[in-house]
Amino acid sequence: MEHIENDSQFAGLTVNSGVKQPPSVNPYLTKRKRKPMPTVGEMVEGILKGDITMLSRAVTLVESLSADHQAIAQEVIEKCLPYSGNSRRIGITGVPGAGKSTSIDVFGLHVLKSGGKLAVLAIDPSSERTKGSILGDKTRMEKLSVHPAAFIRPSPSAGSLGGVARKTRETIVLCEAAGYNNIFVETVGVGQSETAVHSMVDFFLLIQLAGTGDELQGIKRGIMEMADGIVINKADGDNVDRARLAQAQFRSALMLFPPAASGWSPEVLTYSGYFELGIPEVWDMIDRYFDFVKANGYFERKRSEQARYWMYETINERLRSSFYNDPEIERRLAEGEARVLANRQTSFAAARDVLDFYFSDILKK
Ligand code: GDP
């Protein structure tokens, strides 16, 4: 008997035999076809129409490591280039915990109040953060992530800073072609990534915190020098006085710096991203900056300098990856390194040997 419960002694109880266990692999899945890759023309057309799916697919190609994808991506970028440039590119940096995501959420909504569209991109070359968990993660920007006019894209996954930054820079072009007239580029305020962000934005906003008592000590001078605006977040509750004190300290520290090439004197403001206090004031400052640099010609000059910078950066990055990603070079580098470490060859001779091999054998192939 299949089910003991069906014996006559258990009257009133009938157990039907169950349905067959489904296979662990869903057989229907195999029938689902992957969407064919759109052509370059279709992608460009979609992007220019503001189609988010096409934009996302093109960005995925920009980020892809495959040479085929890269080739298509470059074609798409080139076709989009004439439609790009018409945006305000704003870099936002601050140490983890400074309140970048909270602030970007409210800054973003504020910007979108006057219409237009906003893309939030990120640069974070450190591997442990690039799994989409921290920077650019949609869940960190609750309101923006559901806003129809916002496009949020996490940092391209780990790689050299130059590579990650180039991809973000290319993504800016695509977003602008898709009609995003506000671009935020976020980065963690630790390390070199600020320089990369600075080289692709018009305005660089540094988010700082007060209340630690040693405000100015932990700040790398270089980052402060890059900032067009410093904003002290969390100016709420008992923190207001400390934020004001920090504001005064930053203002006097800034006076010691040489004047910026833009002719603009960086401003220092306090605000609260969480309680949404002082947000319009921060944005008024940014508006004033754009008026100022557009009037004195610095805006255009900086953009052309950045274009030149990215031309060389792209060359450097391609040369470096062509060299370091070659398996034979990798092998020879390891051998050379071992000889140098064992004092059997000088660093210069070891470098020359590998480079000679690269120029004479690999490049000629
Ligand atoms: P991020 O790491 O720079 O992106 O910082 P988050 O936006 O994740 O914020 C870090 C923490 O600071 C979170 O717990 C926020 O709730 C808190 N926070 C952010 N902005 C403010 C603010 O304006 N005031 C206060 N009191 N807390 C804030």
For the stretch 179-204, pLDDT in tens is: 999 999 998 766 678 888 889 999 99
Binning pLDDT at 50, 70 and 90, where does residue 220 land?
low
Best residue among 185, 206, 274, 275 to mutate for probing ligand 1, ranked by most atoms within 8 Å of CB? 274
The residue ranking higher by pLDDT, 121 or 32, is: 121
What pLDDT, on the 0 to 100 scale, is given for residue 58? 95
How far is ligand 1, taken at its centre, from the CA of residue 278, in Å?
15
Least confident of 25-34, 98-107, 251-260: 25-34
Share of the chain above pLDDT 90, in %: 58
Q: What is the pLDDT of residues 320-358, one digit of tens each?
A: 888 988 899 999 999 999 999 999 999 999 999 999 999
Residue-level pLDDT at 134: 46
Cα of 188 vs centre of ligand 1, distance in Å, is 14
Atom in ligand 1 nearest the alpha carbon of residue 140: 8
**pLDDT (0 to 100) of residue 136:** 45
Residue 131 has pLDDT above 50, yes or no: no
The residue whose CA is least distant from atom 16 of ligand 1 is 274
Predicted confidence (pLDDT) at residue 130 exceeds the cutoff of 50: no
Which residue's alpha carbon is nearest to atom 11 within ligand 1? Answer: 97
pLDDT at 3: 67
237 Ramachandran zone, left/alpha/beta (phi>0; psi -120 to 50): left
Look at ligand 1, atom 26, and give the residue with the nearest C-alpha: 234
Give residue 23's pLDDT band: very low, low, confident or very high (50, 70, 90).
Answer: confident
Atom of ligand 1 nearest to the CA of 273: 23
Ligand 1 first shell, C-beta below 6 A: 94, 96-102, 233-234, 236, 272-275
Inter-residue contact 260 to 296 (CB < 8 Å): no
CA dihedral 82, 311, 128, 221 (to 10 degrees): -110
Q: Which atom of ligand 1 is nearest to the CA of 94?
A: 3
**pLDDT for 235 beyond 60:** yes
Choose the residue to mutate in 92, 93, 102 for probing ligand 1, maximizing ligand atoms within 8 Å of C-beta.
102
Which conformational region is residue 234 in: left (phi greater than 0), alpha (psi within -120 to 50 degrees), or beta? left
Q: How many CB atoms lie within 10 A of CB 61?
A: 24
Atom of ligand 1 nearest to the CA of 98: 3
312 pLDDT band (50/70/90 cuts)? very high
Contacts of residue 355, Cβ cutoff 8 Å, sequence gap at least 6 = none
Residue with the nearest Cα to atom 14 of ligand 1? 97
Instruction: Provide the β-strand partners of residue 277.
Output: 272
Phi and psi at 326, nearest 5°, equal -80, 125
pLDDT in tens, 35-72: 788 999 999 999 999 999 999 999 999 988 888 898 99
Is pLDDT at 92 greater than 80 in this prediction? yes
Which atom of ligand 1 lies nearest, measured to the CA of 207?
3
**Ligand 1 atom, smallest distance to 271 CA:** 23
DSSP 58-74: HHHHHH---HHHHHHHH
Query: CA torsion 239→244→245→249, rounded to 10°?
Result: 130
Q: What's the predicted TM-score (pTM) here?
A: 0.83
Tell me the pLDDT tens digit for each residue of 256-268.
888 889 999 999 9
Tell the residue nearest (CA) to atom 9 of ligand 1.
99
Nearest-CA residue for atom 24 of ligand 1: 234
Classify the C-alpha dihedral 144-148-150-155 as positive or negative. positive
Q: State the average pLDDT for the chain.
A: 87
